[in-house]
Chain A
Amino acid sequence: MVTLGHFLLFSGLLMAVGLYGVLTRRNLIAVLMSVEILLNAAALAFASAAAFREPHLFAGQIFALFIIVVAAAELSIGFAILLNVYRTHGAVTDDAISEMRG
């Protein structure tokens, strides 16, 4: 039987995958994709916890919806930035934009 524990474990795995991607990928598009995975991990955790614990209230699902909307907005801005980074620096890796090094 699939329990809340399974969902949360899956969510945690997704989180780990996303973090790994954010921390290790050099390509910023891949980093954005990893951020997307992180967000989905959170959304999954919200939605599953709500469905199992409080089936009559939809608070968790609403959070999930919010996260999807925010993710869409974030992606559009993120890609706009990346496009400009590509125009100015000729690449979208994080070495290309390390001018703020101390």
Chain B
Amino acid sequence: MSYVELSYWIPLLPALGFALLALGGRSFPGRGSGWFATAVMAVVAVLSLGLLHDVILAAPGWNLAALLGGHHEEALIKPGSPDFPFRLEWTWLAIRGEAGIPLVIYIDSLAAVVTAMVALASLFIHLFSIGYMHGEERYPTFFAYLQLFSAAMLAFVLAGNFFHSLLAWEVMGLMSYLLIGFLYKKKTAQQAQKKAFITTKLADLGFMLGLFWLYLLIGNFDLADLGSGQNLLAIGTGAAAAVGLLVFIAAMGKSAQFPLHVWLLDAMEGPTPVSAMIHAATMVAAGVYLTARFYPLLLFGGVLWVVALVGALTALFAAVLAPAFADVKKILAWSTVSQLGYMFLGLGVFGWAAAMFHLVAHAFFKALLFLGSGSMIHGAATQDIFEMDRLKKHMPWTYWTFLVGALALMGIPPFAGFWSKDLILHAAEEHAPLLWLIGLLAAFFTAFYTTRMIVIAFHKPAMESPWKAAEWTRGAPWLNLGPEEAEPDPSPPAGHHPHESGAEMITALVALAALSILVGFWGSPIFGYGLLTLVYRGEMPELLPASKLMTGYVTGTLVALAGAGLAWFWYSADPLKQRAPLWLTAALQRRLYIDEFYYKVLGALAQAPTQVLAFIDRYLIDGLVDLAGYTSLVISSLLRHLQSGRFATYAFYMLLGALALYVGGAR
């Protein structure tokens, strides 16, 4: 029994776990439901790693030297096994012998790598949650949600049929909605979950339209077949570009790219493990994954340039806004938006494998950073970095693991982000020098805000948060809430001393730190671009010998060090000094007023047609219904006189009836 044949259990097990926890989660004693869910994910992780192992054995082998030399035709040294990429197929919706929409599990190298990533990240996030969510009122429900989300994400990655991708995609959206609003008594959480759901749902329309259009053109949803010459001929360049663009809109929504980025910051209202899992490591990366799967269509009509431009602008935009925030989770959320922008930039400039490398690396180090922030919040009882008191001293495990994640994020060698980000930047330099500059600038800001966060939270004593009382942060205008409706985040109680988190949480942090380092090396030129050659499909020209990349490596490192150095210089001296003009800080903290603009303008725009619809509903549809009732009233008020209640009248009717029958019969 190979792992490939068992692969359908990978999404199925957490789905069953969800069913069990949803139905009987309350009967587990204490933290039992958490341990149960973690055990399920452990089995899934073993299955995924086994699957990855099988795939590595079956995948074609490439001669690295020939690849690096640009001789792509001669590079194949070991053809893939004949049944690779693996495919498991069941019939589904086959009505009266028609093909229906087959249920397909399609496992190529990319699917196997991402599946392993999702399973491992999910496992450690589950483990972390056991301690983090302890004492929460709906503890089993939380794990039930996490399980169903994992099931949907794994199903999405393994689906060989875009129709099932769409189904899993929507389930992920639902779980994101439910988990953002997990603390449903908070007004801000309610608003945030609606905002996230509506924004992504709007974008999902693009996925559906693109998919159904595609179905009209080629008559199937098959993922593996999408790029075949016959299909591309049937689709045509114009339609291919349009479908690609529609799908990219959905990816922008899910991956929070400008201008659909607005929901991700507020998604931080969910518990921190949720932010780590859904809004950093997995679901938001699903947009990038989907775009990668639709790559054959994106090559037409300049759609790739749109992808690259959106990605680069988002990367810079988010990295610029991040330093203005004091909430550790919001800083990390901006960072996620920015890093997802990098991935789209990579896809857009033909750095397909580099973008996938960054996706996997980012998933690990960002999950690590978010869990680290969860540990910080747990220990310091605040989310505000200014109110955290020298956490380096109080929480050494958290500090060192967080530092690993932060160095990876900044792109300091030899950590993961350095290898992946530089490959993306290199691809950008080749194909779009301007976007390369934007990417470098974003890297500078990335290092800046990361260092600022570490210095203030871990090294500095607690101080009064500078903007908590600021007029522009009162209430939550970005959630359309007034000062009375949204309360500021609580400060730690007086006399609170930070403390290190429990064993489960530390274990999860250390494991993710190790994984993020390992993945970085796996994709680095030191180990022969292992991850990139694995997902290599024989048409990507982005691999270069390390010596040729040296300028890029040096530039990237210098830029990152410059950003980190500036932040260190400024914030270790006086964190509270107001360095930007006040109006700029206010604008950045209000997210450049984009969210409020959406609420006002788009809200008003949406109101206008609803007014028309409301009028139609009230006067036309309701009017018709009322008319039916009124008609029957009038008729019955006339006919009621027939019912005299007098016996003789009825006898007379009977006589009339008999006569009518007689006359009728005689004729």
Chain A residues in the interface with B (C-beta under 8 A): 19, 22-25, 28, 31, 94-95, 97-102
Contact = CB atoms under 8 A, between A and B. Distances in A.
B639 interface: yes
B645 to A, nearest CB: 3
Contacts of B644: 98, 101-102
A100 B651 contact: no
B566 to A, nearest CB: 91
A23 B648 contact: yes
A19 B652 CA distance: 9
A14 B379 CA distance: 108
Contacts of B640: 102
Contacts of B639: 102
Contact of A94 (B642, B643, B648, B655): B648
Interface of B: 639-648, 651-652, 655
B662 to A, nearest CB: 13
B648 A100 contact: no
A102 B648 contact: no
A23 B651 CA distance: 7
A19 B654 CA distance: 11
B646 A94 contact: yes
A19 B647 contact: no
A24 B648 contact: yes
Given A101-B644, A102-B641, 18 more contacts: A19-B655, A22-B651, A24-B648, A28-B647, A31-B647, A31-B648, A94-B648, A97-B645, A97-B647, A98-B645, A98-B646, A99-B645, A100-B645, A102-B639, A102-B642, A102-B643, A102-B644, A102-B645
Nearest to B642: A102
A102 B644 CA distance: 6
A31 B644 CA distance: 17
A99 B645 CA distance: 6
12 contacts: A23-B648, A25-B648, A31-B648, A97-B645, A97-B647, A98-B645, A100-B643, A100-B645, A101-B643, A101-B644, A101-B645, A102-B642
A23 B655 contact: yes
Nearest to B643: A102
The 4 residue pairs across chains A and B that have the minimum distance between CB atoms: A102-B643, A101-B645, A98-B645, A102-B640
Nearest to A26: B648
A13 to B, nearest CB: 16
B17 to A, nearest CB: 64
A28 B647 CA distance: 9
A44 to B, nearest CB: 19
A60 to B, nearest CB: 20
A94 B641 contact: no
Name the residue among A19, A24, A100 with the largest chain B CB count within 10 angstroms. A100
Contacts of B646: 94-95, 98, 101
B642 A22 contact: no
A22 B648 contact: yes
Name the residue among A22, A24, A102 with the largest chain B CB count within 10 angstroms. A102
Contacts of B648: 22-25, 31, 94
Contacts of B642: 102
A99 B655 CA distance: 22
A102 B645 CA distance: 7
A91 B639 CA distance: 29
Nearest to B639: A102
Contacts of B647: 28, 31, 94, 97
A31 B647 CA distance: 10
Contacts of A19: 655
A26 B645 CA distance: 13
A20 to B, nearest CB: 11
Nearest to A99: B645
A94 B644 CA distance: 11
Nearest to B651: A22
Nearest to A98: B645
A101 B641 CA distance: 8
A100 B644 CA distance: 7
A25 B643 CA distance: 19
A33 to B, nearest CB: 14
B24 to A, nearest CB: 58
Contacts of B651: 22-23
Contacts of B655: 19, 23
A14 to B, nearest CB: 16
A5 B642 CA distance: 38
Contacts of B641: 102
Contacts of A100: 643, 645
Contacts of A24: 648
Contacts of A97: 645, 647
B539 to A, nearest CB: 84
Nearest to A94: B647
A99 B643 CA distance: 10
A89 B646 CA distance: 15
Given A102-B639, A102-B640, A23 B652 contact: yes
B635 to A, nearest CB: 12
A99 to B, nearest CB: 6
A94 B645 CA distance: 9
A99 B644 CA distance: 9
Contacts of A98: 644-646
A25 B640 CA distance: 23
Nearest to A25: B648
B485 to A, nearest CB: 57
A95 B642 CA distance: 16
A85 to B, nearest CB: 11
A12 B643 CA distance: 30
Contacts of B652: 23
Contacts of A23: 648, 651-652, 655
Contacts of A95: 646
A88 B651 CA distance: 23
Contacts of B643: 100-102
Name the residue among A19, A23, A97 with the largest chain B CB count within 10 angstroms. A23
A31 B646 CA distance: 12
Contacts of A94: 646-648
B129 to A, nearest CB: 69
A97 B648 CA distance: 12
